[in-house]
A = this chain, B = another copy of it.
């Protein structure tokens, strides 16, 4: 029996229209390169976005054509988020942390026709210019300086658009609106193409009360780059509910963020652990060095993800009244797959228990199916112990990569995405990532989770950062080696660190065989520990 419901395609154009009419008074604040703030109402943003869409159409953009962005987080990037799809195009967010060579390769692979680039990022563009010929390069005068005459100015470009006369290009809900390349640690990056449908569904799931709990009265500060899985989808959510947005622009240093939080206190902020670590350290130092300089916004919620969030970081923020929620996901999952939140069953749990849960990847989100596949090919039980590869399925999970054949190392025969992460699931459905399939340490036939050892080491008072890798061992096949960054002026011998681990429940054989003191943990462009580099540094 068929439904009587209307056959209405899901569309982010609906969010654009909605914000332009319902929320036209609300604000979008952007920090400029000179650190001043610029303000647009949603009404102004809506008109500028329609002008961009119209101008792209007039410039000959055809349905499905890719338009790349090489931009920081600001209002114009949000115009691209909605204006490019409204014109029928596909937004391709280029990651400005990548090398020029990688960027050129990615732009060529995606066949990007047009580039929109911040003027302050022109030097990066010029390095990659030879590797991919964009038909047109549109420069956003983010710094306020005049745009070099050889480029089109974004402001001049959209001034040619006709906001009033524009009608969004009709589309099916499965058509792409954005493409994002994964920063694979091995092999070439691969494109994931989000659709109207996947984006609308992901937005609705992200906004749920146990996740972002996003409301129209929220003030959202997305520190997570808009080129990282669409800033985890938050811009779509903010536009859907009409929340005020505060974009940090290029200023992501801890004191810049703390300054911005004084000017425009957010109720919700999001970023990666590295930045949040430096945020709390800078803030705590300021309490003695510059008392009263900053106040953390009272009651702010913080979403931290993109890499495992150590329990120590959650405790540090909680001491100042800020609760950190972590999620787990990847570019391939839009990205929300799990979020750690206070389940009803934990209402009367101890603080210890709540911290322990908060430091896990969290609970499976609605519309997402998740299973753990053991090495033996079985589905792992939810016992908190049995490890298996995380496999996911759902309407906002990728089922392939852009123009790449589907292979068994990425997708199972029955249609699940193989994430490459290894985890356990406990009785309450909390996922705990124990490792990457590639980073597990197998010692004497037993698994050692490098992530667990790292997190425990980072809870030691002298340790700033720790990354654990496997080194070959004749007897045990592999043994753990810990690369440790100490806090300034601090130190601890290997014996003390191992004693610390043992007092935290680790078996002696799980403790690192060797410690190496390093100045900083090398990181990938997305802020993750770059273990490949460490393995090169310490091959044995």
B-contacting residues of A (Cβ < 8 Å)?
A: 1-10, 14-15, 18, 21-22, 25-26, 63-64, 66, 90, 174-176, 191-195, 197-198, 200-201, 204-205, 207-210, 213-217, 240-244, 334, 341-345, 347, 363-364, 366-367, 369, 382, 393-402, 415, 417, 428-429
Contact = CB atoms under 8 A, between A and B. Distances in A.
Given A10-B395, A366-B15, A402 B4 contact: yes
A241 B209 contact: yes
Given A204-B205, A341-B216, A344-B244, A3 B393 contact: no
Contacts of A344: 26, 216-217, 242-244
B3 A175 contact: yes
Contacts of A14: 366-367, 369
Contacts of A396: 5
B4 A193 contact: yes
Contacts of A242: 343-344
A6 B240 contact: no
Given A14-B367, A214-B209, A1 B176 contact: yes
Contacts of A241: 208-210, 366
A196 to B, nearest CB: 8
Most chain B Cβ neighbours within 10 Å, of A5, A193, A393: A5
Most chain B Cβ neighbours within 10 Å, of A193, A210, A428: A210
Nearest to A403: B4
Contacts of A208: 204, 207-208, 214, 241
A530 B395 CA distance: 45
Contacts of A64: 1
A4 B396 CA distance: 9
B395 A8 contact: yes
A343 B23 CA distance: 9
B6 A399 contact: yes
A240 B342 contact: no
Nearest to A205: B204
Contact of A4 (B8, B21, B26, B192): B192
A428 B369 CA distance: 39
A207 B415 CA distance: 29
A428 B22 CA distance: 6
Given A3-B174, A10-B367, A10-B395, 5 more contacts: A3-B176, A4-B400, A18-B366, A22-B429, A216-B343
Contact of A193 (B2, B9, B217, B399): B2
A334 B5 CA distance: 9
Given A208-B204, A217-B342, A364 B22 contact: yes
Contacts of A394: 6, 8
B216 A5 contact: no
Nearest to A345: B25
Given A216-B343, A344-B26, A364-B22, A5 B209 contact: no
Contact of A398 (B4, B214, B398): B4
A102 B367 CA distance: 38
Nearest to A190: B4
B174 A7 contact: yes
Contacts of A66: 1
Contacts of A400: 4
Given A208-B207, A213-B209, A198 B22 contact: no
A345 B15 CA distance: 19
Nearest to A204: B204
Contact of A415 (B6, B18, B63): B6
Contacts of A401: 4
Contact of A216 (B18, B25, B26, B210): B210
A234 to B, nearest CB: 14
A367 B8 CA distance: 9
6 contacts: A1-B90, A5-B193, A5-B195, A14-B367, A18-B366, A207-B209
Contacts of A382: 21
B2 A395 contact: no
Given A205-B204, A217-B342, A395 B6 contact: yes
Those 4 A-B pairs whose CB atoms lie nearest each other, nearest first: A3-B195, A1-B64, A6-B399, A204-B204
B194 A21 contact: no
